[in-house]
A and B are shown apart, each in its own frame.
Chain A
Amino acid sequence: MKRKRRDAPPGDFQDPLSNYDPPIYADDMEKSLCEDSILDLKTTPFRTVSPDMKVCDAIKLMVEIDVACLLVTEGDKLLGIFSERDVLNKVTQDFDIASQKPIGQVMTQDPMAVYETDTPADALNIMATAGFRHIPVLDVDDKVVGILGPRRITAYLQHYFE
């Protein structure tokens, strides 16, 4: 049965957004950082590898393609990040043995991530407070769609000064 739509009595309606004060930004740069999506920054390319890859092969790959970290995945699931800092902390001291291990044993597990709907300011704050240089970008299904690092952020900021 189709219901008849009743009009609200005049004068009863209260706009829930009537008290909303939109944020005030001092300049375009602040507005972009707080309102753009992460995807407005360059988040690709990124490289995923299996947790079974040997540490020595991973280091070689990172040098070859000139990246500071690799995303370790199984299927679509993000397991961890293998970064230059993992090499410094866990591999260098005992290189001959550690370099033969699978990166699944050496990587940083369960890294903090951002969603593609988050803002650049969100990502910057995670980097600043948690101390991670590289942050994976996930979609609604938790699938990796990119990675954000300081070099991409400085490139994004630089265009406000050109």
Chain B
Amino acid sequence: MGLRQDIILQPISELSIREAITLGPEATVRECADQMRRHKLGCVVVVDSEGKPVGKFTERLLMKFLVDHSHSLDEPVKGFMYQESNSMKESDTIARLLARMRTKMLRFVPVVDDAGKVIGLTGQKGLIEYIAEHFPRQVKTRELKSKLFMDQREGA
């Protein structure tokens, strides 16, 4: 089977699913930023008391927040988050995820179980790693600062 067929048939569980950062809606924007920095992850999934997603706070929203000087970092995130989490189930296909990410311009997609509780996070990074695994021969061996072309020709 080729990559296209794999993407059409395989479920999201085949992607690398990262542990999601989950916080309640009363958590502050500062707490969200601290957690994102600590976990090296650009998204916090905001969940209700049952662990079901009610929103998302991302690096992009943090940028907008910083530009707008009228709010304090200590205000609750519920006033600044995306109200829709756009979560998907592990059993949904990767093709469906790709289409959802493209049409809704998503970077992060929370993954939920059958009860709707957050069990992880995937998105652009998971998809890129999945595709890259199909092309191990292409892994770059070029050193970081090496040049592809020489400045001067070698030899006589």
Which residues of A does B touch, CB under 8 Å? Answer: 25-30, 33-34, 59-60, 62-63, 68, 84-85, 87-89, 91-93, 95, 99, 110, 112, 115, 117, 119, 121-122, 124-129, 133, 140, 142, 150-151, 153-155, 157-158, 160-161
Contacts and interface: CB of A to CB of B under 8 A. Distances in A.
Contacts of A89: 37
Contacts of A121: 132, 135, 138
A34 B95 CA distance: 20
B99 A158 contact: yes
State the majority secondary structure of interface residues on B: helix
State the majority secondary structure of interface residues on A: helix
26 contacts: A27-B2, A29-B4, A30-B134, A63-B64, A63-B67, A84-B59, A84-B62, A88-B42, A88-B59, A92-B66, A95-B73, A99-B66, A117-B148, A119-B138, A121-B132, A122-B138, A124-B138, A125-B138, A126-B140, A129-B132, A129-B139, A140-B148, A150-B107, A151-B105, A154-B127, A161-B99
B59 A85 contact: yes
